Structure 1
């Protein structure tokens, strides 16, 4: 009968611990453990290291200790404190069991509750036979990924759940085959790799430590030993005062190999004492650790009694600390399954169902396409506006990608859009807005590299062309057709750069479409839609782009420059003035370089005669064919035409021929025009799709059941993940650290105030053994 307040607090703490552990076990039972990692204690070590004896000592239940098949599969040992003794054995099918009928058959294995511990060996043998595991070592090494569940309850049992793994071994024998060596190691590593597994590494002191590899394997998956508690067995087999005994004492004091959870020492039963009562076994262990150098060890780190309490506390704290993350993981898995099921849609046996399925995909695609083109990226498909992990150039954000490509195109045209780089003063190359180190921008620049020419080379070329193309023009003038010819030659790179740009834009649209349909439907339907409808439509858009580019380029390959408006006239007049002023200044300086012509403050002074000589020289330099004016007219027209061309490529080609038609490549009209045979081909369900829907539905049910199981604790997640102000001020004594997780879980069910409970439990933890 519970009367004192501290007794009531301790009783409620135990009940809360039992409830929490039962919830985690229930998650395993309904299959959630196969979908998300669950907090657990795993017992691993070499064969004959004393693992079975450790489990016996903890549970006070006799496990079969001979090297038989009971240790050739994972065994989940569930210990609960109940008034009556009860032992129950069941089987959880492993992932290798793909036949649902076979899985159901294994789950239907049940055993009646037994009152005697001596029946455990018989129960395990029955379960082993039910799994189909034979004593013949030639049959697949005698190992299974099925999990044997042993539920043991009684008044003296701790609140614990452990997973016992097959013992590691390195040599074959009559009872165990060579093929089983890697199987056991792989099974052990699979459990160790789970970040929510606490590793109980059992190490035998009667065997050289260096040939026991369990800690080395654990380090591969937990490099800093944050999840490892080492349990040293057979400590009575060490010679008193020997170097080997001192070495293990250092380990247990956590001085040799430092483990975050530390070490623990036990004295196992010997063959002679295998049948002595449990109390007698525990007394012999207490006497052993009270003698010699063993007496110097902390009492909390020796003996089975303290190990029970230590493991209970570690497991409870571990589960409590992982609970908020576990709930979030299950939430995420539920969302993933729902999204996958939404892609698959409901079952669609009839043509009408299939047409409706496609219409739903069509409506969603048109919505996503419209949002992508309008730059509205707040929906799930786009990753949200505040997604910091999103990489630049993500194809889902189509408008942003196209705008970036247009900027690269404009800069590339400005920098490399001409066949010949004209001398400075005739034309200036602007600085790009794009980053020259950007690889995508560099690929645009690589489409054409201009030829560099000097002013003298340019003038000589123009003089030769003017001379070879003389017509009926007046002397001192050039054939006006040379302006158009020179322009077409200078604009030759436009086609290559623009074609590359349109290819990049089309590839971006193609990638966007692939991602959109991958998001909206399952793989099978996506492949059918892309192959049967979408890809042909995209090819039509590509052809439309190419045709539009040919149209935009046609006037640069033939025809005459016909500038319209005052802007061209103003620009060419200004260009002529600038050119003449530059040459006039150069001639004046060249012919009057005497210091006598320089006035105060560095200003030149010239006579009227100087100006007349410079003007005469200017006319002579320009030559009889006025080639300078031809170059000026061409360059002025080029600078006007390139801006129009860039805009036309971006608007008339990309916007009109690629982006605007995008929403309509899979519209409702397209689907309504299909006959029943086409609909069946696109939306008919394969057997794989049906099986995938069934699998996802099963997993979703498990996860939702798991969330309901944890609903008691998920209502106040913040209280599980953040310590209270009172807890933050608690002393870091061992008892306080061990019950931190448990005290967080008491606030909702206690009849007295939480602060009082914490203080009472702390006082008890300092004076008596935790959960004694």
Structure 2
């Protein structure tokens, strides 16, 4: 009973394996393999390492195995169990084949008329001629190797369920037939297959040669450092003499004692030159007898011989496909989504002016909507959602939320004006010094060094200036012209800080526009639209910003202080009160808590009067500071509102509107929206890829996880009546 169950389970396993392998092969046939990485086993090793003999032993079909000529292209070998023997050979053109007629010629090469494996070598030679690889002159040149793929499908009752990719043999010495360019091409081709995380690497090592001169595992380790995807195959184990150190070394290698491979090692005995014409069954018997004798008998039977290798490879490939299937489905879906997005950006084909104008009107309406949402902080839609999900371009996505960026920059500007807006920082004894070291890392603060001046030094400086600039003011009163001069000197940094801020906001707006257009259209149309329409308008906005800044700052650089409203008077009174209170406190400090007599008050009044100097420099400083404090707030607000909002952000919504497109003449429309031939080819390519990917998705539909499931009903505490 148990054996019958085992047979049923084995047949079920073979059926599932055949179905999965057929699905992956179908993806390759469709062309999905050129778009996403597919699970596969690749056979690689040095020339004359016995790769062809390994393939023959697995498939029981003879492959060309000349010792002095290597395979010059990848060969995909598809083995399937079938009631009758059949061999089919076809060619899949490589990416380097650009000529359509040449690709069709290669695809037309196919044959299903051969039922015997003895005919395969001649058939492969015909395929090589079709690829243009039969000429001896070509073999020594760059064209001696091809990225075309020869597909050999072999069916029969005794075939294992396997798909293998045989790669050209690696070599490290040149000759007339094999030049240095070919050496590089073979290594690059090998690396191209190895680097895929979905590739199982069948590394063939010949016991005929020293292990250390066979570099296949070194190349594999570059892409699989822990040897998780590598199965080592040792061939020609009968070459080292029995009992020799070489034999012992390879025995240790197969036991995984020398180079630890997570999939382990296997060993096969190849046909020798003398036995090359014996039957497959006789070859298998000779191999079994060899491994049953001598030190080779000590190896586990699952690691020796062709029969166990067939089963081992089938099991490994099946598990590998199962493990990679969910990721493969996601990759196909992701590639479909990306192609659809690229096609959306390209839009429909537009050869006429009417189609081009319609395309631009559609794009302009989308541009206006996204820009409006960004300026009003309504971050809804895919353009803004990518901000959360995309980590690769995390520096880019904050700029999609333009209003947030502008507000952040405005706050940095206001902070910088507050800290470094004054030409010199007056040190008052009652105010602790500010820690400017913590400010250097903030925007608009880089490269700035504060300049300090004590209050007493400033007073002495102003006394000298007042003496030199006496006017008609009465003694003890401030010279109002000097107040204006000190203020103009103190606010000199304003314009430079504001200019830096305006240019930063303008650059952010320009970058935002580029991001929106990049999201909506292809790069060619985006560049054309920027060049012919948007960039000139953005430059005008920049000029308007600079003109507005000149307007906002010009009076402060030349005019006399003209305070408006009560804020200036309030600040002046507060400042004067603090100064007088400080003087009185100092004068009456010895009597605080005691009784004040008229003499004390008279003495304090005299000191308060004597503190007012002949030129009123303290009044000059207080008036200048009060005017500075009220005016800087107005200046910062004017830059943000009259400059940024009125001259940049409001016009930004109208920079590319539907009305502008409608008003363009035909010549302007063609300059911007006409499609180059490259775009037409790109649309064709994307559509062709999309068709393949959708077919691939349909092929794997049965293996896609069920994405829609009904959740548990909510617990609402409602006493529903029982069903009857």
Same fold (TM over 0.5): yes
2:134 matched to which residue of 1? 134
Conserved 8 A contact 2:87-2:117:
yes
Q: Secondary structure at the match of 1:42?
A: strand
Q: Is 1:401 aligned to residue 405 of structure 2?
A: yes
Conserved 8 A contact 1:418-1:450:
no
Q: What are the residue-to-residue correspondences of 1:132-211 with 2, within 5 Å?
A: 132-136=132-136, 137-140=139-142, 142-211=144-213
Cα distance in 2 for partners of 1:97, 1:422 equals: 76
Residue 514 of structure 1, CA deviation? 1.5
Q: What are the residue-to-residue correspondences of 1:5-84 with 2, within 5 Å?
A: 5-67=5-67, 71-84=71-84
Q: Secondary structure at the match of 1:664?
A: coil
Where in structure 2 are there 5+ consecutive unaligned residues? 710-724
Please give the root-mean-square deviation of Cα atoms over the aligned residues, in Å: 2.5
Conserved 8 A contact 2:141-2:179:
no
Cα distance in 2 for partners of 1:197, 1:538 equals: 51
Conserved 8 A contact 1:377-1:385:
no
Q: Is 1:436 aligned to residue 439 of structure 2?
A: yes
Cα distance in 2 for partners of 1:37, 1:496 equals: 55
Conserved 8 A contact 2:346-2:683:
yes
Q: Is 1:418 aligned to residue 422 of structure 2?
A: yes
For 2:652, which of 657, 662, 665 is the aligned residue?
662
Cα distance in 1 for partners of 2:594, 2:5 equals: 107
Conserved 8 A contact 2:291-2:297:
yes
Q: Is 1:677 aligned to residue 664 of structure 2?
A: no
Residue 485 of structure 1, CA deviation? 2.4
Residue 323 of structure 1, CA deviation? 0.9
Cα distance in 1 for partners of 2:662, 2:42 equals: 59
Distance 1:53 1:333, change over 3 A: same
Per the normalisation by structure 2, the TM-score is: 0.92
Cα distance in 2 for partners of 1:604, 1:109 equals: 118
2:703 matched to which residue of 1? 713
Cα distance in 2 for partners of 1:588, 1:457 equals: 26
Q: Secondary structure at the match of 1:44?
A: strand
Give a deviation string over 1:139-181, Cα, whole Å, max 9, x none.
5352111000000111111111110000111123354334321
Conserved 8 A contact 2:387-2:398:
no
Cα distance in 2 for partners of 1:349, 1:410 equals: 51
Cα distance in 2 for partners of 1:608, 1:295 equals: 124
Conserved 8 A contact 1:393-1:400:
no
Give a deviation string over 1:203-227, Cα, whole Å, max 9, x none.
0011111111111111112111111
Cα distance in 2 for partners of 1:380, 1:482 equals: 59
Q: Is 1:280 aligned to residue 270 of structure 2?
A: no
Conserved 8 A contact 2:74-2:148:
yes
Q: Secondary structure at the match of 1:47?
A: coil
For 2:351, which of 340, 345, 349 is the aligned residue?
349
Residue 446 of structure 1, CA deviation? 4.0
Q: Secondary structure at the match of 2:492?
A: coil
1:336 matched to which residue of 2? 338
Distance 1:153 1:483, change over 3 A: same
Q: What are the residue-to-residue correspondences of 1:230-269 with 2, within 5 Å?
A: 230-269=232-271
Cα distance in 1 for partners of 2:241, 2:599 equals: 121
2:328 matched to which residue of 1? 326
1:451 matched to which residue of 2? 451
Cα distance in 2 for partners of 1:585, 1:388 equals: 64
Cα distance in 1 for partners of 2:596, 2:508 equals: 63
How many correspondences in the alignment? 704
Of the structure 1 ranges 21-30 and 53-62, higher mean CA displacement relative to structure 2 is found in 21-30
1:362 matched to which residue of 2? 364
1:553 matched to which residue of 2? 553
Q: Secondary structure at the match of 2:463?
A: helix
Q: Is 1:645 aligned to residue 649 of structure 2?
A: no
For 1:374, which of 370, 373, 376 is the aligned residue?
376
Of the structure 1 ranges 403-412 and 90-99, higher mean CA displacement relative to structure 2 is found in 403-412
Conserved 8 A contact 2:476-2:612:
no
Residue 262 of structure 1, CA deviation? 0.9
Conserved 8 A contact 2:374-2:403:
yes
Distance 1:622 1:109, change over 3 A: same
1:743 matched to which residue of 2? none
Residue 376 of structure 1, CA deviation? 3.2
Distance 1:324 1:53, change over 3 A: same
Where in structure 1 are there 5+ consecutive unaligned residues? 720-772
1:761 matched to which residue of 2? none
Of the structure 1 ranges 179-188 and 421-430, higher mean CA displacement relative to structure 2 is found in 421-430
Q: Secondary structure at the match of 1:258?
A: coil
Distance 1:587 1:214, change over 3 A: farther
Q: Secondary structure at the match of 1:144?
A: coil
2:124 matched to which residue of 1? 124
Cα distance in 1 for partners of 2:631, 2:432 equals: 16
Q: Secondary structure at the match of 1:494?
A: helix
Distance 1:15 1:716, change over 3 A: farther
Conserved 8 A contact 1:415-1:429:
no
Per the normalisation by structure 1, the TM-score is: 0.87
